Amino acid sequence: MTAPGRASRGVRIAGTGSYLPEQRLTNADLVAMMDTTDEWIVQRTGIRERRRARIDQGESVSVLAAHALRQALDAAHLRPDDLDLIIGATMTPEMECPTCACLVAEAVGASRAGAFDLNAACSGFVFGLNVAHDLIRGGAYNTIALLGADTLTRHMNYSTAGRGTAIIFGDGAGAAILRATDDPALGILAQSIHASGPGWKDIYIPHRPTDFPSGTPPDANACGYVSMNGSSVFKFAVGTFPKLIEETLHKANLGPADIDLYICHQSNARILTAAREKFGLPESKLHINIDRVGNTVGASVPICLDELVRDGRVHPGMKVMFLAFGGGLTWGSSLWQL
The residues near 74 (Cβ < 8 Å, ≥ 6 apart) are 15, 17
Distance in Å, CB of 303 to ligand UT7, minimum: 14
Distance in Å, CB of 332 to ligand UT7, minimum: 13
> Given the complex with ligand UT7, which of 38 and 59 has the nearer CB atom?
38
> Given the complex with ligand UT7, which of 44 and 292 has the nearer CB atom?
44
Residue nearest to ligand UT7 (CB): 230
Distance in Å, CB of 70 to ligand UT7, minimum: 27
Distance in Å, CB of 325 to ligand UT7, minimum: 6
> Given the complex with ligand UT7, which of 73 and 167 has the nearer CB atom?
167
Residues that bind ligand UT7 (CB under 6 A): 36, 40-41, 44-45, 122, 163-164, 167-168, 203, 230-231, 233-234, 237, 267-268, 295, 326
Distance in Å, CB of 240 to ligand UT7, minimum: 11
> Given the complex with ligand UT7, which of 13 and 161 has the nearer CB atom?
161
> Given the complex with ligand UT7, which of 169 and 336 has the nearer CB atom?
169
| Residues assigned a catalytic role | 122, 265, 295
